[in-house]
Structures are given as C-alpha cells and as structure tokens.
A and B are shown apart, each in its own frame.
Chain A
Amino acid sequence: MSQIMGEPVTETFDDVAEPLLAIDQLGKRFGGFVALDTVDLSVPAGQRLGLIGPNGSGKSTLVNCISGTLQNETGSVMFGGRRVDGLPAHQRARLGLARSFQLPRPFRSMTVAENIRVPLIYTVGARHGVHLTSSELEDRCLEVLSLVALQDKAKKSPLDLTQVEMRKLELARAMAAEPKLLIADESMAGLSHSEVEDIVALLIRMNQRGVTIIMIEHIMRAVMAFSQRLVVLVSGRKIADGAPDEVIKDKDVVGAYLGT
C-alpha cells in the first residue's frame, strides 16, 4: 500500500471488471500550476469512498473534472462504461452523475421544493423522455425532501434555512436526480458534532439505497465512520488508496498532513 512520496499510485484497491467510475491518467493544469497530475481512480458500484487531502491538493478539481464543471486536459473519465470527459456537465448529470457543492448553491429565487423540482424536470424527466405531471412532481419533491427531513420547509426560501439545512438541501437536490454516483464535496464543513453525524447517517442511508458515493471531507471522524475505502490526494497526486484504517497509518499520508 505504501508508496514513495510523490510517486502516483497506479494500482487501485478494488479491481472489479466493470467499475462504475474509471479515471485514467487524469491531468489538469491552471496556467503553470499542476492541479491534477495523472490521477487514476476506479470506483465499483455501491462503494462508499472517502477522498481526503490537504487544502489545495486537488480534491475539488478532481470533483469538477468528474462532474464536468471543469474539463480535464489529459487522461479520460469513464462512467458506466461510457467516456464522459468532454461532455458538458448537464449531460453527465443525465447519465447519473450527481454532485453537491462545497458551498451550498441553492436557486435563491425559488422555494426549497422548487429547488428539488429542477433536477426532477431536467435530469429525471429528460433521461426518461417523459415529464411528470405537476402533482407527480409535487409528490416526488416531498418524497425527496422527507429523505433529508426538510419536508416541513418545502415552501420556504432557501435563504431562510440554517447552515445544516442548506447542506441537506444541497444533498437532496443531488439525490433528486436519481444518480448512480453522488459526489459530496465537503458537505459537513462548519457543522457541529451532532450535525456531522446527521449528515454521515444520511449519506450512509443513501448508499444503502444503491447509490455509489464519493465523499470529500476534512473531518476525519466523519471520514472514518463513512468510508469503506480511503483515497488520499496530495499536490494533485494520489499517494494512498486502501482500507481506511490502513491508509491513515501510512507514513506518506501522515507525512503529508503533519509535514514530517
């Protein structure tokens, strides 16, 4: 498992014949800054993957390249056996790739329920080519909101929500798209102890419904409680990939975090 610091890990922990997500030699630069350097990652369906790394290590860039917010320059992203790099974000969403944003980005002029309606109309509806009637839409909105216990706030503006409710709305909007893979980008930053547990439990529940989840997080307690597998990114390279309790003992990982 352990590698020499700076050498990217090319072998993955879980070698499954047909992974849901397969990233091969992914690279992304911002001017002269290498944000991602030949990252390989293969995620089998149904897995709960934790992705950690110090600030600026490329976690969010990786998420953005997977979801299509940014386009990678080298390498490829395969999703469900189909090459998706180069596709705009909305097409990847329709294929079943959902994400939440690090800072919640609700649609401010809409109510909480209307926020959920957007992916129902534009992802679920567009995917199946059938559009739900307005009463079906309303039912589905409440169903999704009850997953995150926000059904009582359906008619409120997202601006009236608390921080933790805002994060839940962000996750609910991603879940409404009925994704195969959900990427939760630091959905717990700034939350209290019990709120973190709340969100972890929520993500595990979603996973039990069959959704593969990649969780990016700094809060190690949450990461350890959630992850079946842990990947560590440092300076745009993958330096460790494996069972969580082994990975956190890895000397490169400890070195990266503590600077020894």
Chain B
Amino acid sequence: MRTPLFTLILSAIAAALYLSFRFIDNDYLFFAGYVVLQYVVIATAWNVLGGYCGYVNFGSAGFFAIGVYSTIFFYNIGQSPGDVFPEFLLGPMQWIFPLPLPVLILLGGVFAGLVGLGMGYLTLRLRGVFFAIATLALAVVLETFIVNWPFVGGSRGAYVIPPEKIAVFGTFIQYLFVLMLILAVGSLVAARLVERSRLGVGFATIRDDELAAEASGVPTLRLKLVATVLSGALFGMAGAPFPFYIGYVEPGSAFNLSYAVNAIAMPMIGGTTSWIGPMVGALILSTLQQVVTVTISSAVNLLITGLLLIGFVILAPNGLVGLWQGWTARRNKS
C-alpha cells in the first residue's frame, strides 16, 4: 500500500473513532482514549530505536519528561512574560505568548530530539546492556536537573490550568484527544515509512550485525543518530500535552517508571519488527490498564504489565505479530 493511501485510511479510522466517541458523548472515553493513544505514540517511539535498530532504551521516561517540562517552561513564560523578558522585548513576546498547544508539542519534539542527538552521540559506541544502563542514567540525570530547577516547579511541581471550554471541540479534553489522535496517526505513518525505506533496511542491518553493516557500506553511526533523534522527538511530542491533561506535574509523575516499563513492554508484547506491533501492544495493554484501573485498582496496572511482559518474553519472544506470522506461515504450508 502506498503511503498516501495508508495515511488516508488511518486518518479515516481515527476520524471515525473520534466521531463515535462524540456520539456516545461521555468525557471519560476521551480521558481514557487520550492515555491509550499516548501509549501508541510512546510505544512507536521506543520501537524506532529498540525494535528497528536493536538498541534498548530504558530512559524513555526521561524523553517523555523533556516534552512535559518543555511545555511547563513555555507555559510559565506565558503566565508572566514581564518577569522573563526585558522591556523592549515585552511587546512582541506578549503577542507570541502564550503559545498554542500544537506549537508546544512541536517544541517538545525539538528539545527531546536534540537530547536524543546528544545522548546518541555520547552513548551509541556502547553496545547492548551498557547502552541500556547509560539511557537509564540519562533519565536520572534529567530528573535531578528538573528537581533543582525552580522555574519549572522543582520538586514542588507545577500547575497548568487548561481552559474549560474551547471552540469547535467543546470540552478541552476533546481537543487534547484529537491532538493525540493526530500524533498517533503521524507517528504510525512515520514508523511505517521508515520501515519500508532505505533507512529501515539500514536500521535492520544495525540490529542484525553492525560490523557486517559497515562492511556493506551502511553508515551505522549516522543512522543510529537518526534513530535516536526520531525516537526522542516522538517521545517528546507524546509528553508535551501531558501537563494540560493532568493539570499538575511533579518530577515523580513525569519521570514515572511506568513510562519506561510500558514503552518496552508494549512493543515486546505486540512485536518489534514492524509498526503494527507497538500499536497493537499499546492498544491492548493500555486499554486493559484503563479497564483495570476503573474496575479493580490503579495499583494493579504495572503488575499486569509486568506479568504479561514476562509471559511474552518466555512464550512468544516475537510478540503477537510473531505469533500471527507463525500461524499464517503454518496455515499456508498445510
């Protein structure tokens, strides 16, 4: 399927989803749907580096939080431009701030992408478990940095007060939901595009054998940097609207372990070799978590994720997509 057609179909599905939610007219659906879609973006972001290139990133929460705190930073500037800018700049700045949410999302993506570039440059000479440890350390360093930065709230946290109503969409949560829906569609299209391009072939050679890749002319370091930037930017964009969703952010929630765990678990459960896997994993696992939160308890969330992850790693290391491919291959043979 060509990319424009694929984009069109995915957008149609997304539009149908939004309209059916609107028809049901229950804000809870938008609240829960936002989180599920956020995890579709997060799982896809992780998979660009972890699934395509084989570099396991444990620092997902750090990249997500960069998006979150980029929004807090610009939101705080917008709250009181007079404290931040000198007199002569105040006029134009009051015209620019407060920044609209789509711009904040792009900014979150830019910052997280830049940090991804820096991290890639520093750590991509490390292999396997050492790379994973370095990414984990990066998240800790970032959290320490945020905790000690009073302008974005430090350890006290920061409030973001979303407007109650918004034009066209009605409630603000519907607006957030639609933005996240667009992001999810965009990241899936991007992941699929990468997968089928020369870039995707290069990523796969890095995952399989870096020495052989270099010998075949693949510029492995440059491609890995592309992957860390793309992955980081998607994480950042997933995190940027979060303060508006949650209303109050503190480092403990922005850098929460659940982001790092889910970012790994969802692609692993869905399957890491194609764009479908992270999407399926995120949809199933995140929906399950939402249901469990309401019906049983919010504390059971990560337990379920952990148990499913262990089960899949042992029983179906290639995830649901791998199971499906195995099943169709067997059926074709017989």
Contacts and interface: CB of A to CB of B under 8 A. Distances in A.
Contacts, number: 81
Interface of A: 67-69, 88-91, 93-94, 98-99, 101, 105-110, 114, 117-119, 121-123, 125-126, 131, 173-174, 177
B208 to A, nearest CB: 4
Interface residues on B, range: 20 to 34
Contacts of B214: 68-69, 88-90, 93
Interface string B180-220: 00000000000000000010011011011101111111111
Contact of A177 (B201, B209, B216): B216
Contacts of A117: 201
B212 A107 contact: yes
B308 interface: no
Given A107-B208, A110-B204, A122 B215 contact: no
A101 B219 contact: no
Contacts of B221: 88
Interface of B is mostly: helix
17 contacts: A69-B215, A88-B214, A88-B219, A89-B211, A89-B215, A90-B216, A99-B215, A105-B211, A106-B209, A107-B204, A107-B212, A108-B208, A109-B207, A118-B202, A121-B198, A122-B217, A177-B217
B273 interface: yes
B204 A109 contact: yes
Contacts of B198: 121-122, 125, 131
Contacts of B209: 105-108
Given A69-B214, A89-B214, A99-B215, A121 B201 contact: yes
Contacts of A90: 213-220
Interface of A is mostly: helix
Interface in B63-117: none
B216 A122 contact: yes
A177 B218 CA distance: 11
Contacts of A121: 198, 201-202
A142 to B, nearest CB: 18
Nearest to A69: B211
Contact of B208 (A89, A101, A110, A173): A110
Interface in B252-276: 273
B216 A118 contact: yes
Name, among B208, B211, B217, the residue most crowded by chain A CB atoms within 10 Å (CB to CB).
B217
